[in-house]
A and B are shown apart, each in its own frame.
Chain A
Amino acid sequence: GAGVSQSPSNKVTEKGKDVELRCDPISGHTALYWYRQSLGQGLEFLIYFQGNSAPDKSGLPSDRFSAERTGGSVSTLTIQRTQQEDSAVYLCASRKRGTAYMNTEAFFGQGTRLTVV
């Protein structure tokens, strides 16, 4: 497939459990982003990976959230000890490396809808 792929599409978990969300970016895209969209809210930036550079983790809401990107491709967002307020749609995006003056188009996956019960 040519697009950004996320799995699972839906996840229901019990409060206190850990969850892992996966993102497969478009092949060749060096930048990868995770966003969160809570019901009725805008998109909240979580974390950004660019090539081999240290990730920008400034948006992670707590130390229960972490993400890694292996081999510069697939990324996993992990939420430990889930809470009900973690319920949201988690969106992943990727784009090609731009230049110092231009950014390229960002493409989003369909998201993972996480429900914590």
Chain B
Amino acid sequence: KQEVTQIPAALSVPEGENLVLNCSFTDSAIYNLQWFRQDPGKGLTSLLLIQSSQREQTSGRLNASLDKSSGRSTLYIAASQPGDSATYLCAVSDGGGGNKLTFGTGTQLKVEL
């Protein structure tokens, strides 16, 4: 059974700092990994999708990497801003064609002024 772990569970940083969020998964036979953010009381917003054949994806100040063999992904946020404060979730898909996503428990990020 796939298990996804995110460390740290919570993180507080001053504005402007670069930071890294970690995601690890136990079964490396994944098809892709997706990073989401969730604001309080809201649904999930997709940030980045990395296919199993890819090593990284970038969108603006966000960069996600994937090391499938070691079962790890990182989300790098450059020059953090207060608006980045949210819970960040990673999820892996174990099967092709749209099988279910298994989620980590998230990292709650607070970027302080």
Q: Spell out A's residues near B (CB within 8 Å).
A: 4, 6, 30-31, 33, 35, 41-43, 45, 48, 50, 56, 59, 91, 93, 95-111, 113
Contacts and interface: CB of A to CB of B under 8 A. Distances in A.
Contacts of A45: 100-102
B96 A102 contact: yes
7 contacts: A42-B89, A45-B101, A56-B99, A102-B31, A103-B51, A104-B98, A111-B42
A106 B43 contact: no
A42 B88 CA distance: 11
A72 B37 CA distance: 28
A102 B32 CA distance: 7
Interface residues of B, number: 27
Nearest to B33: A103
Nearest to B104: A42
Given A48-B99, A50-B98, A95-B98, A103 B43 contact: no
Contacts of A98: 31, 96-98
Nearest to A47: B100
A103 B105 contact: no
A103 B97 contact: yes
A12 to B, nearest CB: 15
Given A91-B43, A97-B97, A103 B31 contact: yes
B43 A109 contact: yes
